[in-house]
């Protein structure tokens, strides 16, 4: 059990008040309930290698700790647009993130710089995004503000560079967002220090991760997840499809198992990164295509298809295309098991039978859990 003054208010953690073993047991039962008639296929929940301090990415918001209170930088409190819980006691982040965030918070407090108020359209400070390679130690910092920022950034850069960190800062970026939406936008971004990417190593492979591209937020957990997928996929001399492949991490992990792996992803920047990464790793049997899965799923049926869709699961048209293509084996990776449960109805009606299912705790202390299921076509 872990003591945190913000527990129950910041919205980040759910299970700090119970032992980790009990958390895993509750997640396993919740996953079985979510999957309903398919829940009994869940074999176990693989624990996270690091139950605390595991996040390799944090998107922190500027706000106040209480209404009209002093400036704060951290996680949004539940049911609040502007109040945030400071990262000073956050158990999800590594120590380097904490040092950087508190330095940025204190600098802008002393400068009297206000956070951006979305209703009144005043203020300048929006977000601080911190990213790191857990196995490389490389750190990337992205500050998001409006164009009304008054405080000079150079003194802040000096303070950050003077910090004693375990990792190494490889890039500091500043992006300007004058929109109303509470999001980090990559438009109008300039590099202040270094570069706009960092490197990570997963399963013995190197990956170049750009500032705004998707990457699993738990690197050590990702190795466990990809190991489960690799074991379920087994080894074949045939063709594998990696659908919603992102930067091609699963494709490359599976590349020794198959003659050829083809990845499809809507985001063209992610596909460009995937192509760069296969060159970086010296892999020659992976090919990547940019486009909508439901539009590109035509042609030869693969020996296996791995689908890792967004949280809402497979679009009905993509599901229909996948069923029509009829791969003999299918691995469904889901960060929202409720979407998997919904899609299982269509898959089982089309003749697919679940064979194995395993949970992977990618997000300790939160209610989220990753599910991986192997299905075979009758």
**Helix or strand holding residue 102 (H, E):** helix 95-111
Distance of CA 136 to the CA centre of its chain: 18
Query: Is residue 335 annotated as a catalytic residue, yes or no?
Result: yes
CA 41 to CA 375: how far, in whole Å? 11
For 338, other C-beta atoms within 10 Å of its C-beta total 15
| 282 Cβ contact list (under 8 Å, min separation 6) | none
Q: Torsion over CA of 115, 116, 121 and 124, rounded to 10 degrees?
A: 90
Q: Contact at 8 Å (CB) between 331 and 229?
A: yes
Residues facing residue 132 across a β-bridge: 139
Q: Which residues pair with 353 in a beta bridge?
A: 376
- 97 CB neighbour count, 10 Å cutoff: 26
239-243/260-265 β-pairing:
parallel
Contact 13, 4 (CB under 8 A): yes
- Chain-centre distance for alpha carbon 12: 15
The dihedral sign for the CA sequence 158, 160, 164, 167: negative
Q: What interhelical angle do 95-111 and 154-161 show, nearest 10? A: 150
User: Hey, which bits of 259-351 come out as E strands?
Assistant: 260-265, 286-290, 304-307, 329-334
Instruction: State the catalytic residues.
Output: 335
């Amino acid at each position: 059990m872990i003591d945190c003054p913000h527990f129950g208010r910041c919205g980040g953690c759910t299970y700090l008040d119970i032992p980790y073993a009990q958390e895993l047991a509750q997640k396993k039962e919740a996953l079985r309930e979510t999957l309903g008639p398919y829940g009994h296929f869940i074999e176990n929940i693989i624990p996270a290698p690091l139950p605390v301090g595991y996040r390799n990415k944090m998107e922190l918001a500027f706000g106040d700790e209480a209404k009209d209170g002093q400036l704060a930088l951290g996680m949004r409190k539940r049911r609040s647009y502007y109040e945030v819980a400071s990262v000073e006691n956050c158990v999800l982040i590594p120590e380097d993130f904490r040092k950087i965030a508190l330095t940025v918070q204190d600098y802008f407090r002393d400068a009297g710089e206000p956070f951006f108020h979305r209703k009144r359209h005043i203020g300048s400070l929006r977000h601080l995004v911190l990213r790191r390679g857990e196995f490389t130690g490389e750190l990337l910092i992205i500050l998001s503000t409006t164009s009304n920022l008054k405080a000079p950034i150079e003194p802040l850069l000096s303070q950050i560079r003077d910090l004693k960190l375990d990792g190494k800062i490889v890039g500091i970026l500043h992006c300007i967002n004058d929109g109303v939406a509470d999001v980090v936008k990559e438009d109008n971004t300039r590099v202040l220090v270094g570069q706009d990417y960092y490197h990570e190593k997963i399963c013995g492979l190197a990956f170049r991760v750009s500032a705004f591209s998707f990457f699993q937020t738990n690197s050590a957990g990702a190795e466990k997840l990809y190991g489960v997928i690799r074991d379920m996929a087994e080894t074949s001399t045939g063709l594998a499809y990696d659908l919603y492949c992102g930067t091609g991490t699963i494709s490359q992990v599976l590349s020794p198992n198959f003659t050829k792996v083809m990845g499809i992803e809507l985001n063209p920047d992610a596909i460009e990164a995937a192509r760069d990464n296969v060159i970086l790793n010296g892999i020659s049997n992976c090919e990547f295509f940019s486009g909508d899965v439901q539009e590109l799923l035509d042609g030869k049926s693969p020996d296996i298809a791995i689908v890792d869709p967004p949280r809402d699961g497979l679009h009905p048209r993509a599901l229909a295309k996948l069923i029509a293509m009829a791969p003999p084996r299918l691995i469904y990776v889901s960060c929202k098991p409720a979407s998997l449960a919904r899609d299982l109805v269509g898959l089982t009606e089309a003749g697919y039978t679940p064979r194995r299912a395993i949970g992977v705790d990618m997000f300790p202390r939160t209610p989220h859990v990753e599910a991986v299921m192997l299905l075979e076509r009758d």
